Amino acid sequence: MKLRLHFVVDPMGWLCISVVFGIWLYNSIFVPKLVLLPHYNEGHIPWAIVVCYYIASALCFAALFRASTADPGRLPLDPHIPHSEREHWELCNKCNLMRPKRSHHCSRCGHCVRRMDHHCPWINNCVGEDNHWLFLQLCFYAQVLSLFTLVLDFCQYYYFQPLTQLDQEKFTTRHELALLRLSALMGVVMFGGMMSLFYTQMAGILSVS
């Protein structure tokens, strides 16, 4: 399985992946700074939770980078067609190249992709034979990070002890809207969306196999 770097020139895709990266950056910097690290410094939570959060964040970013830059299964301009498989190949009427069955032409990328599932603007790449498993990894790690963030938001207001080195009234005035509403909203949307997408993809793979 090849993992060649692959970049799609699509302004809309760049915008979408920038939004996803911004959400990841928000969860990786804002939440630890206001919730995770202050409570760890005062001994309210063990170091293992901090380490697990950053591991989940790193895995999520790595999966996003790999899924968005990996070659999804682009067909070469002069593909080698085994003689025994020629009857399973067909001519694409858009790029005029031979392609195996179950391949599709992506209008955004401008080429055919083996076993193309769909073009995902949120990773600015097609999801095909060579990066489908990376896309599933991204969905899974995004679920983990989103759920982790939701749990931290909940614990901040209903479970964690008050921070002694922080002015609670000032903290609530400045950060309650951003932390509780925005972070929780992003967590719910990302967790629900990624969970639905992940299990839909898995159901599709199992039904084909």
Q: Which residues are catalytic?
A: 120
Alpha-carbon gap, residue 118 to 200, rounded angstroms: 13
The SS3 assignment for 72 reads: coil
Which tokens belong to 1? Answer: 């399985």
Which tokens belong to 92? Answer: 């694409």
Strand 118-120, strand 125-127: pairing: antiparallel
Alpha-carbon gap, residue 109 to 126, rounded angstroms: 8
Give one word for 110, left, alpha or beta, with left for phi > 0 and alpha for psi -120 to 50. Answer: left
Alpha-carbon gap, residue 157 to 28, rounded angstroms: 19
Residue listed under structure tokens 């509780």: 180
Which positions ≥6 away from 34 have C-beta within 8 Å? 156, 171, 175, 179
